Amino acid sequence: MDRKTVKKKLDQLGVPRRRYSLNGKNLDDRVIISKSNNKWYVYYTERGERFNEKYFDDESEACIYFLDSVKRHAGLDID
């Protein structure tokens, strides 16, 4: 899985863009996926702070976790 696939799935689910960032932009109150130093990071931001940060060596693993995190924060069932 890659970020393009994640975007398509989120669009199909009707998840508003204000719930997530796929380009690493640190915007408040959303789930972020970013790449730094050959690692993928997924975390939630609120008031400039990072919460529940996890890192991955593989984009696909990070995207799966990111998708589940966005769905959870949007109040959607995870299948």
The pLDDT value given to residue 27 = 83
Domain assignment present for residue 77? The answer is no
Domain assignment present for residue 78? The answer is no
Domain assignment present for residue 79? The answer is no
The pLDDT value given to residue 79 = 52
Residues of the domain holding 58:
3-72
What residue spans of 1-79 are helical by DSSP H?
A: 3-13, 59-73
Side chain identity, residue 68: D
If one counts the domains in the chain, the total is 1
Q: 19-71, pLDDT tens digit by residue? A: 999 988 878 899 999 999 999 999 999 998 999 999 999 999 999 999 999 99
Q: Is the pTM of this model over 0.95?
A: no
The pLDDT value given to residue 78 = 55
The pLDDT value given to residue 44 = 95
The pLDDT value given to residue 57 = 97
Domain assignment present for residue 35? The answer is yes
Residue 37's region, left for phi above 0, alpha for psi from -120 to 50, else beta, is left
Question: 65: closest CA among 75, 56, 76?
Answer: 56
Strands 49-56 and 30-36: unpaired
Q: CB within 8 A of 73, min separation 6: which ones?
A: 19, 30, 31, 44
